Amino acid sequence: MDTYDIFKKLSRGAKFSKKNNAKQINGVKLEEEPLLIKQEPRDKHKTSKPELNQDNAITLLNGMVTEKRGKKRKITDDEQKIKQIEQEKINHYRNINNITVVGRHIPDPCKSFEDFTVDNDIINNLKQCGFEEPTPIQKQAVPLMLQGRQILACAPTGSGKTAAFLVPVIQSLKGPQKQGFRALILCPTRELAKQTQRECDRLADGRGFRVHIISKIKKAMTQYNPNGSQKYDILVTTPNRLCYLLKQDPPALSLRNVEWLIIDEADKLFESGVRGFREQLTDILKACDNENRKIAMFSATYTPVVAKWCVHNMKGLVRITIGHRNAATELVKQELLFVGNEHGKLLAFRDLVKKGLSPPVLVFVQSKERAQQLFNELIYDGINVDAIHSDRTQLQRDNTVRCFREGRIWVLICTELMARGVDFKGVNLVINYDFPPSAISYVHRIGRAGRAGREGQAITFFTTEDTTNLRSIAHVLKESGCEVPSYMLKLKKVSKAQKKKLQASAPKRDEIVTKPLYDRLKGGKKMKFREISKKIKEKKESNAKKPKKRKIHLTNGENE
Protein backbone atom coordinates (compact mmCIF):
# COMPACT_ATOMS: atom_id res chain seq x y z
CA MET A 1 0.00 0.00 0.00
CA ASP A 2 1.59 3.33 -1.00
CA THR A 3 1.06 6.73 0.60
CA TYR A 4 -1.71 7.64 -1.79
CA ASP A 5 -3.63 4.48 -0.86
CA ILE A 6 -3.19 5.29 2.82
CA PHE A 7 -4.45 8.77 2.10
CA LYS A 8 -7.49 7.45 0.25
CA LYS A 9 -8.33 5.17 3.15
CA LEU A 10 -7.93 7.85 5.78
CA SER A 11 -9.80 10.52 3.90
CA ARG A 12 -12.81 8.52 2.75
CA GLY A 13 -15.77 10.90 2.62
CA ALA A 14 -13.62 13.97 3.13
CA LYS A 15 -14.41 17.29 1.41
CA PHE A 16 -11.61 19.45 0.06
CA SER A 17 -12.23 23.14 -0.13
CA LYS A 18 -10.27 24.72 -2.96
CA LYS A 19 -11.32 28.19 -1.85
CA ASN A 20 -8.52 29.13 0.50
CA ASN A 21 -6.34 26.14 -0.21
CA ALA A 22 -6.94 24.93 3.38
CA LYS A 23 -7.11 21.18 3.58
CA GLN A 24 -10.20 19.90 5.35
CA ILE A 25 -11.33 16.50 6.40
CA ASN A 26 -14.94 16.34 7.46
CA GLY A 27 -14.86 20.01 8.17
CA VAL A 28 -11.66 19.86 10.26
CA LYS A 29 -9.00 22.33 9.16
CA LEU A 30 -5.90 20.22 9.14
CA GLU A 31 -3.44 23.10 9.25
CA GLU A 32 -4.87 24.50 12.46
CA GLU A 33 -5.60 21.32 14.30
CA PRO A 34 -4.69 21.53 18.02
CA LEU A 35 -1.16 20.27 18.44
CA LEU A 36 -1.73 17.62 21.00
CA ILE A 37 -0.50 14.54 19.19
CA LYS A 38 3.12 13.55 19.63
CA GLN A 39 4.64 13.45 16.18
CA GLU A 40 7.91 12.70 14.62
CA PRO A 41 9.49 15.42 12.51
CA ARG A 42 9.52 15.08 8.77
CA ASP A 43 11.53 17.80 7.10
CA LYS A 44 15.21 18.43 7.55
CA HIS A 45 16.30 21.72 8.99
CA LYS A 46 18.56 22.85 6.21
CA THR A 47 17.56 20.77 3.21
CA SER A 48 14.50 21.80 1.26
CA LYS A 49 12.03 19.19 0.13
CA PRO A 50 12.74 18.73 -3.56
CA GLU A 51 10.09 16.16 -4.26
CA LEU A 52 7.14 18.08 -2.78
CA ASN A 53 5.62 21.32 -3.93
CA GLN A 54 3.52 23.09 -1.24
CA ASP A 55 0.64 23.68 -3.66
CA ASN A 56 0.46 20.01 -4.47
CA ALA A 57 1.03 18.79 -0.95
CA ILE A 58 -1.78 17.42 1.17
CA THR A 59 -1.25 16.97 4.88
CA LEU A 60 -2.81 13.85 6.32
CA LEU A 61 -4.29 13.54 9.78
CA ASN A 62 -1.17 11.82 11.10
CA GLY A 63 1.02 14.55 9.69
CA MET A 64 2.31 12.60 6.69
CA VAL A 65 2.69 14.67 3.57
CA THR A 66 1.82 13.37 0.13
CA GLU A 67 0.91 14.81 -3.27
CA LYS A 68 -2.27 15.12 -5.24
CA ARG A 69 -2.25 12.21 -7.71
CA GLY A 70 -1.38 12.82 -11.27
CA LYS A 71 0.71 15.95 -10.87
CA LYS A 72 3.95 14.40 -9.62
CA ARG A 73 5.55 11.00 -9.46
CA LYS A 74 4.93 8.67 -6.52
CA ILE A 75 7.56 8.26 -3.84
CA THR A 76 9.31 5.00 -4.62
CA ASP A 77 9.78 2.26 -2.06
CA ASP A 78 13.53 2.92 -2.00
CA GLU A 79 13.03 6.63 -1.34
CA GLN A 80 10.55 5.76 1.38
CA LYS A 81 13.08 3.42 3.01
CA ILE A 82 15.87 6.03 2.86
CA LYS A 83 13.55 8.59 4.45
CA GLN A 84 12.61 6.12 7.14
CA ILE A 85 16.25 5.35 7.97
CA GLU A 86 17.07 9.08 8.13
CA GLN A 87 14.11 9.61 10.40
CA GLU A 88 15.20 6.80 12.68
CA LYS A 89 18.67 8.36 12.99
CA ILE A 90 17.11 11.69 13.95
CA ASN A 91 14.82 10.01 16.47
CA HIS A 92 17.80 8.21 17.96
CA TYR A 93 19.71 11.49 18.23
CA ARG A 94 16.74 13.07 19.99
CA ASN A 95 16.49 10.09 22.33
CA ILE A 96 20.11 10.24 23.42
CA ASN A 97 19.69 13.97 24.08
CA ASN A 98 16.42 13.40 25.96
CA ILE A 99 14.59 15.67 23.53
CA THR A 100 10.83 15.22 23.12
CA VAL A 101 9.00 17.33 20.56
CA VAL A 102 5.32 17.75 19.87
CA GLY A 103 4.18 19.62 16.80
CA ARG A 104 4.37 19.71 13.05
CA HIS A 105 7.19 20.03 10.56
CA ILE A 106 9.92 20.17 13.15
CA PRO A 107 13.45 20.81 11.92
CA ASP A 108 16.17 18.39 12.95
CA PRO A 109 18.15 19.14 16.08
CA CYS A 110 21.52 20.73 15.39
CA LYS A 111 24.56 18.78 16.46
CA SER A 112 27.02 21.65 16.63
CA PHE A 113 27.02 25.46 16.68
CA GLU A 114 28.12 25.34 13.03
CA ASP A 115 24.80 23.61 12.21
CA PHE A 116 22.89 26.68 13.42
CA THR A 117 22.07 28.77 10.36
CA VAL A 118 23.41 31.91 12.04
CA ASP A 119 26.12 34.37 11.16
CA ASN A 120 29.73 33.60 12.09
CA ASP A 121 29.98 36.40 14.65
CA ILE A 122 27.31 34.71 16.80
CA ILE A 123 29.10 31.36 16.61
CA ASN A 124 32.34 33.11 17.58
CA ASN A 125 30.62 34.81 20.50
CA LEU A 126 29.26 31.46 21.70
CA LYS A 127 32.76 30.05 21.58
CA GLN A 128 34.15 33.13 23.31
CA CYS A 129 31.80 32.30 26.20
CA GLY A 130 33.61 28.98 26.46
CA PHE A 131 30.74 26.92 25.06
CA GLU A 132 31.92 23.95 23.04
CA GLU A 133 28.68 22.45 21.82
CA PRO A 134 24.99 23.29 22.11
CA THR A 135 23.06 21.89 25.05
CA PRO A 136 20.02 19.72 24.18
CA ILE A 137 17.55 22.61 24.51
CA GLN A 138 19.75 24.76 22.28
CA LYS A 139 20.01 21.92 19.73
CA GLN A 140 16.25 21.87 19.22
CA ALA A 141 14.96 25.33 20.18
CA VAL A 142 17.43 27.32 18.06
CA PRO A 143 16.58 25.78 14.65
CA LEU A 144 12.86 26.08 15.45
CA MET A 145 13.03 29.74 16.44
CA LEU A 146 15.28 30.50 13.48
CA GLN A 147 12.37 29.36 11.32
CA GLY A 148 10.14 31.78 13.19
CA ARG A 149 8.27 29.00 15.00
CA GLN A 150 6.51 29.69 18.29
CA ILE A 151 7.60 27.34 21.06
CA LEU A 152 6.93 26.25 24.61
CA ALA A 153 10.18 24.88 25.99
CA CYS A 154 10.75 23.02 29.23
CA ALA A 155 14.34 22.10 30.10
CA PRO A 156 16.17 21.51 33.38
CA THR A 157 17.63 24.33 35.46
CA GLY A 158 21.08 25.44 34.35
CA SER A 159 20.78 23.81 30.92
CA GLY A 160 21.35 26.94 28.82
CA LYS A 161 17.81 28.10 28.05
CA THR A 162 18.93 31.74 27.98
CA ALA A 163 21.28 31.26 25.03
CA ALA A 164 18.64 29.03 23.41
CA PHE A 165 16.35 32.04 22.97
CA LEU A 166 18.98 34.76 22.64
CA VAL A 167 20.79 33.24 19.65
CA PRO A 168 17.75 33.16 17.32
CA VAL A 169 16.55 36.57 18.53
CA ILE A 170 19.93 38.17 17.83
CA GLN A 171 20.11 36.47 14.42
CA SER A 172 16.60 37.50 13.41
CA LEU A 173 17.01 41.16 14.43
CA LYS A 174 20.22 41.27 12.35
CA GLY A 175 21.48 44.70 13.42
CA PRO A 176 20.39 47.92 15.14
CA GLN A 177 17.51 49.83 13.56
CA LYS A 178 15.55 52.94 14.42
CA GLN A 179 12.25 51.20 14.99
CA GLY A 180 12.18 51.00 18.76
CA PHE A 181 12.13 47.71 20.64
CA ARG A 182 11.89 44.71 18.34
CA ALA A 183 12.45 42.04 20.98
CA LEU A 184 11.04 41.92 24.49
CA ILE A 185 12.31 39.50 27.13
CA LEU A 186 10.23 39.21 30.29
CA CYS A 187 11.70 37.86 33.53
CA PRO A 188 10.16 37.62 37.02
CA THR A 189 12.95 39.41 38.92
CA ARG A 190 15.33 42.28 38.29
CA GLU A 191 18.31 40.11 39.19
CA LEU A 192 17.38 37.70 36.41
CA ALA A 193 16.67 40.52 33.96
CA LYS A 194 20.12 42.00 34.59
CA GLN A 195 21.76 38.64 34.10
CA THR A 196 19.88 38.07 30.81
CA GLN A 197 20.90 41.54 29.61
CA ARG A 198 24.54 40.67 30.35
CA GLU A 199 24.29 37.36 28.46
CA CYS A 200 22.63 39.17 25.54
CA ASP A 201 25.48 41.70 25.42
CA ARG A 202 28.00 38.85 25.33
CA LEU A 203 26.26 36.89 22.58
CA ALA A 204 25.47 39.96 20.45
CA ASP A 205 28.94 41.42 20.86
CA GLY A 206 29.96 43.37 17.78
CA ARG A 207 26.44 43.91 16.46
CA GLY A 208 25.88 47.26 18.14
CA PHE A 209 22.46 46.39 19.55
CA ARG A 210 21.04 48.63 22.26
CA VAL A 211 19.91 46.17 24.93
CA HIS A 212 17.98 47.96 27.67
CA ILE A 213 16.70 47.18 31.10
CA ILE A 214 14.18 49.45 32.83
CA SER A 215 15.93 50.52 36.00
CA LYS A 216 14.86 53.97 37.18
CA ILE A 217 11.18 54.51 36.46
CA LYS A 218 11.50 58.30 36.52
CA LYS A 219 14.21 58.26 33.87
CA ALA A 220 12.36 55.60 31.87
CA MET A 221 9.27 57.84 31.66
CA THR A 222 11.07 60.10 29.19
CA GLN A 223 13.83 57.79 27.97
CA TYR A 224 11.69 55.53 25.77
CA ASN A 225 9.35 58.18 24.38
CA PRO A 226 7.69 56.43 21.41
CA ASN A 227 7.89 59.64 19.37
CA GLY A 228 11.61 60.05 20.05
CA SER A 229 14.51 58.63 18.11
CA GLN A 230 13.57 55.01 18.89
CA LYS A 231 17.20 54.07 19.27
CA TYR A 232 16.55 50.82 21.09
CA ASP A 233 16.47 47.21 19.96
CA ILE A 234 16.01 44.73 22.81
CA LEU A 235 14.22 45.26 26.11
CA VAL A 236 14.77 42.95 29.07
CA THR A 237 12.47 43.70 31.97
CA THR A 238 10.18 42.59 34.77
CA PRO A 239 6.44 42.93 34.01
CA ASN A 240 5.61 45.50 36.72
CA ARG A 241 7.95 48.25 35.54
CA LEU A 242 6.94 47.74 31.94
CA CYS A 243 3.22 47.87 32.75
CA TYR A 244 3.72 51.09 34.69
CA LEU A 245 5.17 52.71 31.56
CA LEU A 246 2.49 51.24 29.30
CA LYS A 247 -0.27 52.57 31.55
CA GLN A 248 0.80 56.20 31.25
CA ASP A 249 -1.38 58.42 29.13
CA PRO A 250 0.00 58.52 26.49
CA PRO A 251 2.06 55.32 27.02
CA ALA A 252 5.70 56.07 27.84
CA LEU A 253 6.90 53.22 25.68
CA SER A 254 5.71 51.42 22.56
CA LEU A 255 5.81 47.69 21.93
CA ARG A 256 4.16 47.87 18.52
CA ASN A 257 7.32 46.78 16.68
CA VAL A 258 8.07 43.80 18.89
CA GLU A 259 8.73 40.77 16.69
CA TRP A 260 9.89 38.37 19.38
CA LEU A 261 8.30 38.19 22.81
CA ILE A 262 10.24 35.86 25.09
CA ILE A 263 8.60 34.82 28.33
CA ASP A 264 11.27 33.38 30.60
CA GLU A 265 10.13 31.46 33.68
CA ALA A 266 6.78 31.25 31.91
CA ASP A 267 4.96 29.32 34.64
CA LYS A 268 5.91 31.97 37.20
CA LEU A 269 4.72 34.81 34.97
CA PHE A 270 1.43 32.99 34.39
CA GLU A 271 0.69 32.73 38.12
CA SER A 272 -2.17 34.95 39.17
CA GLY A 273 -2.59 36.84 42.45
CA VAL A 274 -0.13 39.03 44.30
CA ARG A 275 2.85 36.75 43.71
CA GLY A 276 2.19 36.24 40.00
CA PHE A 277 2.12 38.43 36.93
CA ARG A 278 -0.91 37.09 35.02
CA GLU A 279 -2.70 40.44 34.77
CA GLN A 280 0.43 42.32 33.73
CA LEU A 281 1.11 39.69 31.10
CA THR A 282 -2.31 40.25 29.57
CA ASP A 283 -1.61 44.00 29.25
CA ILE A 284 1.82 43.38 27.76
CA LEU A 285 0.48 40.90 25.22
CA LYS A 286 -2.11 43.46 24.18
CA ALA A 287 0.58 46.09 23.70
CA CYS A 288 2.71 43.77 21.52
CA ASP A 289 0.27 44.07 18.64
CA ASN A 290 2.59 43.64 15.68
CA GLU A 291 1.09 41.12 13.28
CA ASN A 292 4.48 39.39 12.96
CA ARG A 293 4.82 38.97 16.71
CA LYS A 294 6.05 35.54 17.74
CA ILE A 295 6.14 34.16 21.26
CA ALA A 296 8.57 31.74 22.87
CA MET A 297 8.10 30.50 26.42
CA PHE A 298 10.82 28.92 28.52
CA SER A 299 10.96 27.38 31.97
CA ALA A 300 12.43 24.49 33.90
CA THR A 301 8.97 23.62 35.13
CA TYR A 302 5.73 23.01 33.36
CA THR A 303 2.20 23.83 34.38
CA PRO A 304 -0.93 22.81 32.46
CA VAL A 305 -2.23 26.42 32.58
CA VAL A 306 0.67 27.62 30.44
CA ALA A 307 0.44 24.68 28.04
CA LYS A 308 -3.28 25.23 27.56
CA TRP A 309 -2.78 28.92 26.87
CA CYS A 310 -0.06 28.17 24.33
CA VAL A 311 -2.15 25.58 22.50
CA HIS A 312 -5.00 28.05 22.12
CA ASN A 313 -3.01 31.20 21.36
CA MET A 314 0.19 30.26 19.57
CA LYS A 315 -0.25 29.23 15.95
CA GLY A 316 2.02 26.43 14.73
CA LEU A 317 3.16 25.79 18.31
CA VAL A 318 5.92 23.29 18.98
CA ARG A 319 6.46 21.95 22.46
CA ILE A 320 9.93 20.86 23.48
CA THR A 321 10.71 18.97 26.66
CA ILE A 322 14.19 17.97 27.72
CA GLY A 323 14.19 15.01 30.08
CA HIS A 324 11.21 14.59 32.36
CA ARG A 325 8.81 17.41 33.04
CA ASN A 326 9.32 19.16 36.38
CA ALA A 327 12.33 17.03 37.21
CA ALA A 328 15.28 18.32 39.20
CA THR A 329 18.64 18.47 37.51
CA GLU A 330 20.47 15.17 37.83
CA LEU A 331 23.71 17.02 38.56
CA VAL A 332 22.66 17.80 42.12
CA LYS A 333 23.03 15.25 44.89
CA GLN A 334 19.95 15.77 47.04
CA GLU A 335 19.23 14.93 50.67
CA LEU A 336 16.26 15.43 52.97
CA LEU A 337 17.35 15.94 56.56
CA PHE A 338 14.94 15.62 59.47
CA VAL A 339 15.87 18.20 62.10
CA GLY A 340 12.98 17.82 64.55
CA ASN A 341 12.08 21.44 65.16
CA GLU A 342 13.17 25.01 64.48
CA HIS A 343 15.95 24.87 67.03
CA GLY A 344 17.17 21.69 65.36
CA LYS A 345 17.69 23.63 62.12
CA LEU A 346 20.26 25.93 63.72
CA LEU A 347 22.01 22.97 65.31
CA ALA A 348 22.05 21.13 61.99
CA PHE A 349 23.38 24.21 60.18
CA ARG A 350 26.16 24.69 62.74
CA ASP A 351 26.96 21.02 62.47
CA LEU A 352 27.40 21.37 58.70
CA VAL A 353 29.69 24.36 59.27
CA LYS A 354 31.71 22.36 61.81
CA LYS A 355 32.15 19.52 59.34
CA GLY A 356 33.27 22.04 56.74
CA LEU A 357 31.14 23.82 54.16
CA SER A 358 32.56 24.38 50.75
CA PRO A 359 31.46 27.83 49.56
CA PRO A 360 29.69 29.35 47.74
CA VAL A 361 26.55 28.26 49.60
CA LEU A 362 22.99 29.50 49.10
CA VAL A 363 20.54 29.21 51.99
CA PHE A 364 16.81 29.54 51.32
CA VAL A 365 14.34 30.71 53.96
CA GLN A 366 10.65 31.42 53.60
CA SER A 367 10.50 35.15 54.41
CA LYS A 368 12.55 38.33 54.59
CA GLU A 369 12.09 38.43 58.38
CA ARG A 370 13.57 34.96 58.70
CA ALA A 371 16.40 35.89 56.33
CA GLN A 372 17.29 38.72 58.70
CA GLN A 373 16.97 36.51 61.79
CA LEU A 374 19.26 33.84 60.34
CA PHE A 375 21.71 36.50 59.23
CA ASN A 376 21.84 37.90 62.79
CA GLU A 377 22.64 34.43 64.12
CA LEU A 378 25.28 33.47 61.56
CA ILE A 379 27.12 36.76 61.57
CA TYR A 380 27.97 36.17 65.25
CA ASP A 381 29.29 32.72 64.34
CA GLY A 382 31.95 34.48 62.30
CA ILE A 383 30.61 33.19 58.97
CA ASN A 384 31.19 35.32 55.88
CA VAL A 385 27.48 35.77 55.27
CA ASP A 386 24.99 38.22 53.76
CA ALA A 387 21.25 38.23 53.06
CA ILE A 388 19.22 39.32 50.07
CA HIS A 389 15.49 39.95 50.08
CA SER A 390 12.89 42.39 48.80
CA ASP A 391 13.22 44.76 51.80
CA ARG A 392 16.77 45.65 50.82
CA THR A 393 17.29 48.53 48.41
CA GLN A 394 18.11 47.76 44.81
CA LEU A 395 21.64 49.06 45.37
CA GLN A 396 22.10 46.74 48.36
CA ARG A 397 20.71 43.83 46.34
CA ASP A 398 23.02 44.54 43.43
CA ASN A 399 26.04 44.87 45.73
CA THR A 400 25.26 41.65 47.56
CA VAL A 401 24.85 39.71 44.31
CA ARG A 402 28.13 41.16 43.01
CA CYS A 403 30.02 40.28 46.20
CA PHE A 404 28.63 36.74 46.11
CA ARG A 405 29.62 36.36 42.45
CA GLU A 406 33.12 37.65 43.24
CA GLY A 407 33.50 35.22 46.14
CA ARG A 408 33.62 37.93 48.81
CA ILE A 409 30.51 36.47 50.44
CA TRP A 410 30.54 32.74 51.06
CA VAL A 411 27.07 32.10 52.40
CA LEU A 412 24.14 33.97 50.92
CA ILE A 413 20.80 33.81 52.70
CA CYS A 414 17.91 34.45 50.36
CA THR A 415 14.19 34.17 49.89
CA GLU A 416 12.16 32.83 46.96
CA LEU A 417 13.33 35.97 45.12
CA MET A 418 16.53 34.21 44.11
CA ALA A 419 14.99 30.81 43.44
CA ARG A 420 14.49 31.25 39.72
CA GLY A 421 16.91 31.72 36.89
CA VAL A 422 19.78 33.33 38.75
CA ASP A 423 23.06 31.85 37.56
CA PHE A 424 25.79 32.00 40.18
CA LYS A 425 28.83 30.20 38.88
CA GLY A 426 29.80 27.15 40.87
CA VAL A 427 27.34 27.18 43.78
CA ASN A 428 28.40 24.01 45.58
CA LEU A 429 25.59 23.69 48.06
CA VAL A 430 21.99 24.81 48.40
CA ILE A 431 20.47 24.52 51.85
CA ASN A 432 16.71 24.69 52.13
CA TYR A 433 16.65 25.97 55.70
CA ASP A 434 12.87 26.35 55.39
CA PHE A 435 11.03 23.68 53.47
CA PRO A 436 10.02 24.86 49.95
CA PRO A 437 6.35 25.77 49.46
CA SER A 438 5.98 23.39 46.50
CA ALA A 439 7.81 20.78 44.47
CA ILE A 440 8.18 23.36 41.68
CA SER A 441 9.85 25.80 44.04
CA TYR A 442 12.12 22.96 45.22
CA VAL A 443 13.23 22.20 41.63
CA HIS A 444 14.14 25.86 41.00
CA ARG A 445 15.84 26.41 44.38
CA ILE A 446 18.15 23.40 44.16
CA GLY A 447 18.76 24.26 40.49
CA ARG A 448 20.97 27.16 41.63
CA ALA A 449 23.60 24.44 42.11
CA GLY A 450 24.65 21.93 39.45
CA ARG A 451 24.64 24.32 36.49
CA ALA A 452 26.25 24.09 33.07
CA GLY A 453 27.40 20.52 33.61
CA ARG A 454 28.95 21.09 37.09
CA GLU A 455 27.91 18.97 40.03
CA GLY A 456 26.36 20.32 43.22
CA GLN A 457 24.61 19.33 46.42
CA ALA A 458 21.32 20.23 48.07
CA ILE A 459 20.27 19.61 51.67
CA THR A 460 16.67 20.23 52.68
CA PHE A 461 15.81 20.52 56.36
CA PHE A 462 12.37 19.38 57.42
CA THR A 463 10.47 19.31 60.67
CA THR A 464 7.23 17.71 61.77
CA GLU A 465 5.47 20.82 60.42
CA ASP A 466 6.57 20.12 56.86
CA THR A 467 4.71 16.98 55.91
CA THR A 468 2.35 18.65 53.39
CA ASN A 469 4.86 18.74 50.55
CA LEU A 470 7.18 16.01 51.79
CA ARG A 471 5.67 13.33 49.55
CA SER A 472 5.85 15.31 46.30
CA ILE A 473 9.37 16.56 47.00
CA ALA A 474 10.49 13.03 47.90
CA HIS A 475 9.21 11.95 44.50
CA VAL A 476 11.32 14.65 42.81
CA LEU A 477 14.39 13.23 44.57
CA LYS A 478 13.53 9.70 43.51
CA GLU A 479 12.98 10.76 39.86
CA SER A 480 16.45 12.22 39.74
CA GLY A 481 18.00 9.05 41.11
CA CYS A 482 18.57 10.12 44.75
CA GLU A 483 17.85 7.83 47.67
CA VAL A 484 14.71 8.48 49.71
CA PRO A 485 13.23 6.46 52.56
CA SER A 486 10.31 4.49 51.13
CA TYR A 487 7.85 5.73 53.80
CA MET A 488 8.10 9.25 52.35
CA LEU A 489 6.92 8.05 48.97
CA LYS A 490 3.97 6.30 50.59
CA LEU A 491 2.77 9.27 52.62
CA LYS A 492 -0.88 10.17 52.08
CA LYS A 493 -1.53 12.48 49.14
CA VAL A 494 -2.40 15.98 50.22
CA SER A 495 -5.40 17.79 48.75
CA LYS A 496 -4.85 20.53 46.18
CA ALA A 497 -6.56 22.99 48.52
CA GLN A 498 -4.04 22.28 51.28
CA LYS A 499 -1.14 22.71 48.87
CA LYS A 500 -2.58 25.96 47.56
CA LYS A 501 -3.00 27.25 51.10
CA LEU A 502 0.63 26.53 51.84
CA GLN A 503 1.74 28.29 48.66
CA ALA A 504 -0.35 31.34 49.50
CA SER A 505 0.99 31.73 53.02
CA ALA A 506 4.04 30.08 54.53
CA PRO A 507 3.61 28.12 57.78
CA LYS A 508 4.19 29.96 61.05
CA ARG A 509 7.56 29.11 62.49
CA ASP A 510 9.40 29.93 65.71
CA GLU A 511 11.88 32.75 65.46
CA ILE A 512 15.42 31.76 64.41
CA VAL A 513 17.28 32.43 67.63
CA THR A 514 19.71 30.59 69.88
CA LYS A 515 18.48 32.13 73.16
CA PRO A 516 17.13 29.56 75.59
CA LEU A 517 13.37 29.22 75.92
CA TYR A 518 13.05 31.09 79.21
CA ASP A 519 14.87 34.08 77.76
CA ARG A 520 12.42 34.19 74.89
CA LEU A 521 9.41 33.80 77.17
CA LYS A 522 10.62 36.74 79.19
CA GLY A 523 10.50 38.83 75.99
CA GLY A 524 12.77 41.43 77.55
CA LYS A 525 10.49 41.87 80.58
CA LYS A 526 11.61 41.45 84.14
CA MET A 527 9.99 38.24 85.44
CA LYS A 528 10.25 36.21 88.56
CA PHE A 529 11.56 32.67 88.19
CA ARG A 530 8.16 31.33 89.36
CA GLU A 531 6.38 33.20 86.56
CA ILE A 532 8.82 31.88 83.97
CA SER A 533 8.35 28.26 85.11
CA LYS A 534 4.60 28.77 84.95
CA LYS A 535 4.88 30.00 81.33
CA ILE A 536 7.08 27.06 80.37
CA LYS A 537 4.55 24.68 81.93
CA GLU A 538 1.70 26.37 79.98
CA LYS A 539 3.66 26.12 76.74
CA LYS A 540 4.38 22.42 77.34
CA GLU A 541 0.70 21.75 78.08
CA SER A 542 -0.48 23.56 74.98
CA ASN A 543 2.03 21.59 72.88
CA ALA A 544 0.78 18.35 74.42
CA LYS A 545 -2.78 19.20 73.42
CA LYS A 546 -1.77 19.40 69.75
CA PRO A 547 -2.73 16.26 67.73
CA LYS A 548 0.00 13.61 67.77
CA LYS A 549 2.01 13.44 64.55
CA ARG A 550 2.82 10.05 63.02
CA LYS A 551 6.26 8.67 63.70
CA ILE A 552 8.81 10.16 61.38
CA HIS A 553 11.84 8.16 60.36
CA LEU A 554 15.08 10.02 60.35
CA THR A 555 17.11 9.90 57.15
CA ASN A 556 19.64 7.70 58.92
CA GLY A 557 16.94 5.16 59.69
CA GLU A 558 16.37 6.01 63.37
CA ASN A 559 12.94 6.85 64.71
CA GLU A 560 12.00 10.14 66.21
Residues engaged in binding ligand ATP (CB under 6 A): 129, 131, 134-135, 138, 155, 157-163, 300, 421, 423, 447, 451-452
State which residue, 269 or 378, has the beta carbon closest to ligand ATP: 269
Measured CA to CA, the distance from residue 357 to residue 449 in angstroms comes to 14
Question: To the nearest whole angstrom, how small is the minimum distance from the Cβ of residue 151 to ligand ATP?
Answer: 14
State which residue, 50 or 130, has the beta carbon closest to ligand ATP: 130
Question: To the nearest whole angstrom, how small is the minimum distance from the Cβ of residue 71 to ligand ATP?
Answer: 44
State which residue, 134 or 168, has the beta carbon closest to ligand ATP: 134
Question: To the nearest whole angstrom, how small is the minimum distance from the Cβ of residue 395 to ligand ATP?
Answer: 24
Q: Is the alpha carbon torsion for 84, 85, 90, 95 positive or negative?
A: positive
Question: To the nearest whole angstrom, how small is the minimum distance from the Cβ of residue 199 to ligand ATP?
Answer: 7
State which residue, 35 or 269, has the beta carbon closest to ligand ATP: 269
Measured CA to CA, the distance from residue 332 to residue 450 in angstroms comes to 5
State which residue, 266 or 488, has the beta carbon closest to ligand ATP: 266
State which residue, 139 or 182, has the beta carbon closest to ligand ATP: 139
Extended beta strands in 309-397, E state: 318-322, 332-340, 361-364, 385-388
State which residue, 131 or 410, has the beta carbon closest to ligand ATP: 131
State which residue, 307 or 378, has the beta carbon closest to ligand ATP: 307
Question: To the nearest whole angstrom, how small is the minimum distance from the Cβ of residue 447 to ligand ATP?
Answer: 5
Angle (deg, nearest 10), helices 470-479 and 439-446: 50
Ramachandran class of 219: left when φ > 0, alpha when ψ lies in -120 to 50, beta otherwise = alpha
How far CA 52 is from CA of 1, 57, 71, 311, in Å, comes to: 20, 6, 11, 28
Question: To the nearest whole angstrom, how small is the minimum distance from the Cβ of residue 192 to ligand ATP?
Answer: 7
Question: To the nearest whole angstrom, how small is the minimum distance from the Cβ of residue 260 to ligand ATP?
Answer: 17
Identity of the residue numbered 236: V
CB 133 within 8 A of CB 166: no
State which residue, 74 or 202, has the beta carbon closest to ligand ATP: 202
CB 151 within 8 A of CB 319: yes
Measured CA to CA, the distance from residue 253 to residue 400 in angstroms comes to 31
Measured CA to CA, the distance from residue 470 to residue 512 in angstroms comes to 22
Strand bridging mode 24-25 / 28-29: antiparallel
CB 290 within 8 A of CB 256: yes
How far CA 208 is from CA of 201, 259, 297, in Å, comes to: 9, 18, 26
Of 329, 334, 328, the residue nearest 476 (C-alpha): 328
State which residue, 134 or 456, has the beta carbon closest to ligand ATP: 134
Question: To the nearest whole angstrom, how small is the minimum distance from the Cβ of residue 130 to ligand ATP?
Answer: 7
Please tell me whether residue 176 adopts helix, strand or coil conformation: coil
Question: To the nearest whole angstrom, how small is the minimum distance from the Cβ of residue 444 to ligand ATP?
Answer: 7
CB 163 within 8 A of CB 203: yes
Q: Spell out the residues 6+ positions from residue 238 whose beta carbon is closer than 8 angstroms to its own.
A: 186, 187, 188, 189, 190, 193, 214
Question: To the nearest whole angstrom, how small is the minimum distance from the Cβ of residue 421 to ligand ATP?
Answer: 4
Please tell me whether residue 83 adopts helix, strand or coil conformation: helix
Q: What are φ and ψ of residue 365, in 5° steps? A: -125, 170
